[in-house]
């Protein structure tokens, strides 16, 4: 995609949704971190159903650590891979209490040292909690990067690096939200709804759909 088209692509997404928000519910940076860890291979809706009751009684590392792994499992048992995730969240809480004065660190390096936290999770937390202009490449961003011609790549990291380089700075902070929402509701995996896409004319996808 040409530089001018990329600018127009994001200008339209911004015009359509000036202040995009993630769909995971949270009350502070810590609960956001926990929610993102729980969201791996799960839907935001499913995670929110489980974390609503959990965060109502435990919204700090100390409180969730005090629950213990078994009780935490009961709260999140409707989420896929809940046993492994419960173990990781308890370890994560322990590390935050021990090493970070119970605060969520604001660097990718420190975040990635926490149990259950990979590059994508760290990027989401840095972006939403701290306003860093990071790009978290999930399945939606990976698909859009390749399908639209915006940032073709064989790996999520390759797509991430290209997006960071190609997206104009003025749009970087909200870019991953716009792309996630666009991929979730318009540029869907199986059948993209090109006929109602506001950037269809800029997109390189050859198999455009009609209503």
pLDDT tens figures, 89-139: 999 999 999 999 999 999 999 999 999 999 999 999 999 999 999 999 999
Instruction: Tell me: is residue 197 an annotated ligand-binding position.
Output: yes
* Domain match, 125 and 186 both: no
Residue 69, in any domain of the structure: yes
Mean pLDDT of 25-31: 97
The structural domain count of the chain equals 2
* Domain match, 153 and 82 both: no
Q: What is the domain range of residue 118?
A: 29-130
Structure tokens at 102: 């119970």
Is 165 tagged catalytic?
A: no
Helix (H) or strand (E) holding 124: helix 119-130
Give the span between the Cα atoms of 190 and 26, in whole angstroms: 30
* Domain match, 100 and 156 both: no
* Domain match, 44 and 123 both: yes
Residue 208, in any domain of the structure: no
CATH, residue 189: 1.10.1670.10
Contacts 24+ apart (CB under 8 A), 196-205: 198/12, 198/13, 198/16, 199/8, 199/9, 199/12, 199/13, 199/148, 202/1, 202/5, 202/8, 202/9, 202/148, 203/1, 203/147, 203/148, 203/149, 204/1, 204/147, 204/148, 204/149, 205/147, 205/148, 205/149
* Domain match, 43 and 100 both: yes
Q: Is the pLDDT of residue 25 over 90?
A: yes
What is the pLDDT, as a whole number, of residue 180?
94
Give the span between the Cα atoms of 106 and 126, in whole angstroms: 6
Is 138 tagged catalytic?
A: yes
Measured CA angle at 45 (ends 44, 49), to 5 deg: 115
Rounded percentage of the chain residues whose pLDDT exceeds 70: 100
What is the pLDDT, as a whole number, of residue 197?
98
Q: Is the pLDDT of residue 211 over 90?
A: no
Instruction: Tell me: is residue 93 an annotated ligand-binding position.
Output: no
Give the span between the Cα atoms of 187 and 198, in whole angstroms: 11
Residue 207, in any domain of the structure: no
Q: Point out the domain boundary residue: 130, 155, 177.
A: 130
Residue 71, in any domain of the structure: yes
The Cα-based distances of 57 to 26, 67, 109 in angstroms read 13, 10, 30
Q: Point out the domain boundary residue: 87, 106, 130.
A: 130
Does residue 69 contact residue 47 with C-beta atoms inside 8 Å?
A: no
* Domain match, 106 and 63 both: yes
Exactly one of 5, 74, 120, 162 is catalytic; which is it? 120
Q: Point out the domain boundary residue: 89, 112, 130.
A: 130
Residue 210, in any domain of the structure: no
Exactly one of 83, 138, 162, 201 is catalytic; which is it? 138
CATH, residue 38: 1.10.340.30
Give the span between the Cα atoms of 90 and 171, in whole angstroms: 36
* Domain match, 151 and 69 both: no
């Amino acid at each position: 995609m040409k530089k001018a088209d990329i600018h127009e692509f994001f200008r339209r997404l911004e015009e359509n949704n000036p202040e995009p928000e993630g769909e995971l519910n949270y009350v502070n940076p810590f609960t956001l971190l926990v929610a993102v860890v729980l969201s791996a291979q799960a839907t935001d809706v499913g995670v929110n159903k489980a974390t609503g009751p959990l965060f109502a009684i435990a919204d700090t590392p100390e409180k969730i650590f005090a629950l213990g792994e078994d009780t935490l499992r009961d709260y999140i048992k409707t989420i896929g891979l809940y046993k492994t995730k419960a173990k990781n969240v308890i370890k994560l809480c322990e590390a935050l209490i021990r090493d970070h004065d119970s605060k969520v660190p604001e660097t990718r390096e420190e975040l990635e040292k926490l149990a259950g936290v990979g590059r994508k999770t760290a990027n989401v937390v840095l972006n939403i909690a701290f306003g860093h202009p990071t790009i978290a490449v999930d399945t939606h961003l990976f698909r859009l990067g390749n399908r639209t011609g915006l940032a073709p790549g064989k790996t999520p990291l390759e797509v991430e690096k290209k997006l960071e380089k190609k997206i104009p700075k003025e749009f970087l902070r909200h870019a991953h939200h716009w792309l996630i929402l666009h991929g979730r509701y318009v540029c869907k995996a199986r059948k993209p709804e090109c006929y109602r896409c506001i950037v269809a004319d800029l997109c390189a996808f050859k198999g455009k759909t009609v209503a």
